[in-house]
């Protein structure tokens, strides 16, 4: 067992849209990321995705609306639901999802990171 200081982990990198693994349990990964700007529309065929905003504000765009998340709020996007995260200013986010989750889901994009290639910090 090891204690994880989430704030310290977030302060160890600056790049946006690059999730970093900070813990693992039961086939799930706990990741932190900085969101800045608009991401790509995508969905995950087999995985639900949880976004917990730690600092800042994130809008999760859905095809039928937008869910705004402030610090301390979370949203679970069910598998198969197309979504696009947007942060008008830098936001710090904790993600909780199956280890198999590819960050851009069904879309090949310049920001795609395969699940096996995620950095563990």
Task: Determine contact, residues 6/94, Cβ cutoff 8 Å.
Answer: yes
Give the domains, in start order, of the chain with CATH numbers. Answer: 6-120 (2.60.120.10)
pTM of the complete model? 0.90
Q: How confident is the model at residue 31, as a pLDDT?
A: 95
pLDDT beyond 80 at 103: no
CA distance linking residue 98 with residue 9, whole number of Å: 20
CA distance linking residue 117 with residue 115, whole number of Å: 5
For 97, half-sphere exposure in the C-beta direction (CA atoms, 13 angstrom radius) is 30
- List pLDDT tens digits, range 56-98: 999 999 999 999 999 999 999 999 999 999 999 999 999 998 8
Over the range 76-109, which residues count as b (16 or more CB within 10 Å of their CB) and which as e?
Answer: ebeeeebbebbbeeebbbbbbbbeebbbbbeeee
Mean pLDDT of the chain: 91
């Amino acid at each position: 067992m090891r204690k994880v200081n989430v704030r310290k982990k977030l302060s160890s990198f600056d790049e946006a849209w690059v999730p970093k693994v900070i813990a693992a349990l039961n086939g799930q990964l706990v990741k932190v990321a900085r969101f800045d700007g608009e991401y790509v529309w995508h969905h995950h065929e087999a995985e639900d995705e949880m976004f917990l905003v730690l600092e800042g504000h994130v809008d999760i765009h859905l095809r039928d609306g937008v869910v705004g998340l402030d610090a301390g709020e979370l949203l679970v996007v069910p598998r198969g639901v197309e979504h696009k995260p947007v942060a008008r200013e830098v936001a710090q986010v904790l993600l909780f999802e199956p280890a198999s989750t590819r960050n851009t889901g069904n879309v090949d994009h310049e920001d795609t990171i395969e699940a096996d290639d995620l950095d563990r910090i």
